[in-house]
Amino acid sequence: MQKTIKEKIRGIIPPILTPMNEDGAINESELRNQVERMIKAGVHGIFALGTNGEGYILSREEKERVLAAVIEETAGRVPVYAGTGCISTRETIELSQTAEKLGADVLSVITPWFAKLSQEEMIAHYTAVAEAVSLPVVLYNIPVRTGNALTPECVKKLSEVENISAVKDSSGNFDNILQYIEVSREKDFAVLSGNDSLILWNLMAGGTGGVAGCANVFPENMVGIYRNYVEGNQEAARKCQDNIREFRNCFRYGNPNTIVKKAAALLGYPVGDCRKPFDQVSEEGIKAIAGVLESYRKNGIC
């Protein structure tokens, strides 16, 4: 029996880090190592070129190289999500078609940024992308980064477009997630949380999982949120969800994806720093992150 979209686009999907050498060049061997690490932990997909993967600062050639490596290393064991959103509709279509040719399973398309978009322009943009490919398209709402928000009404209309199969919400507004679920409840349409703190609550409300940046630091714990929830062990799921609070408190020391990458490096993985200029974490911040990781090690979280 063919799986539904909600059965396909589900679980814990790490927006995998793009490891870099000291000169800022991509460290492909460590990228492949991180793919193996995530799959071994039981994740339900690998998301390449996301925010934590620094897709926003990679060249077109680098994006293709990263995506090809992730697809090859994953080898069909879990779905590969490709972040293909660009500012222009034409460039988004071109990168989406390239991702499809490379063998990606799902496309994640962030809203265009910098210039303000109307909801009508948003609908036209996503519809054009969806019509140009055959892969499922995940809408990606992160207005704090792009300045453009997908309203629930817009998501309702887009959910009726063939190939537009899901939405990822990183607004941090749980009511927005609830409204996405409400307007698409009667459809085979998945709602993912892009905020790690809301994954369990998203599942309880009818969502299907989360794109979890913290999985780059403690993947087993993040997988535990989903696994325990579907197995009916609410107490264990809540414990895994609560476990991430101490680490997320470290986000006050810098850009969240910079903090996540620094934490992975402090765990001993040669992922390097984020590409300049987004590479600074204060000594106070590094000390705080290290302290949290030590506490997590003692408690078997990472």
Mean of pLDDT over the chain = 96
User: Percent of the chain beyond pLDDT 70?
Assistant: 100
Residue matched to tokens 């992160």:
142
CA distances 214 to 25, 131, 134, 211, Å, are 23, 33, 30, 9
What are the pLDDT digits (tens) for 214-248? Answer: 999 999 999 999 999 999 999 999 999 999 999 99
Q: Read off the pLDDT band of 1 (50, 70, 90).
A: low
Beta-carbon-side half-sphere exposure of residue 102 (alpha carbons within 13 Å): 27
Q: Read off the pLDDT band of 88 (50, 70, 90).
A: very high
Closest CA to 170 of 257, 279, 82, 41: 257
The answer to whether the Cα torsion of 298, 300, 301, 302 is positive or negative is: positive
Q: Which residue type, as a one-letter code, is found at position 192?
A: L
State the helix-helix crossing angle for 119-132 and 89-102, rounded to 10 degrees.
30
What are the pLDDT digits (tens) for 119-157? Answer: 999 999 999 999 999 999 999 999 999 999 999 999 999
- Tokens of residue 71, six digits: 């697809």
In the prediction, which pLDDT does 302 show? 85
| Degrees to nearest 5, angle at CA 95 with 92 and 101 | 140
Give me the mean pLDDT over the 95-114 stretch: 97
Residue 9 DSSP code = S
Give me the mean pLDDT over the 168-174 stretch: 95
Cis before 14? omega within 30: no
Identify whether the C-beta of residue 103 lies closer than 8 Å to the C-beta of residue 80. Answer: yes
pLDDT at 25 exceeding the cut of 80: yes
Q: Determine whether domain 5-236 maps to CATH 3.20.20.70.
A: yes
Identify whether the C-beta of residue 83 lies closer than 8 Å to the C-beta of residue 50. Answer: yes
Q: Where are the domains of the chain?
A: 5-236
Cα 216 to Cα 124: distance, rounded to the nearest angstrom? 34
What is the secondary structure of 135-152 as a DSSP string?
A: S-EEEEE-HHHHS----H
Global pTM value: 0.96
User: Percent of the chain beyond pLDDT 90?
Assistant: 97
- Hey, which residues are catalytic here? 140, 168
Q: Which residues have CB under 8 Å from 231's CB, separation 6+? A: none
Starting at the edge strand found earlier in the chain, the sheet holding 190-193 runs: 11-13, 209-211, 190-193, 164-169, 137-141, 106-110, 80-83, 46-48
| Degrees to nearest 5, angle at CA 271 with 97 and 266 | 145
pLDDT at 2 exceeding the cut of 90: no
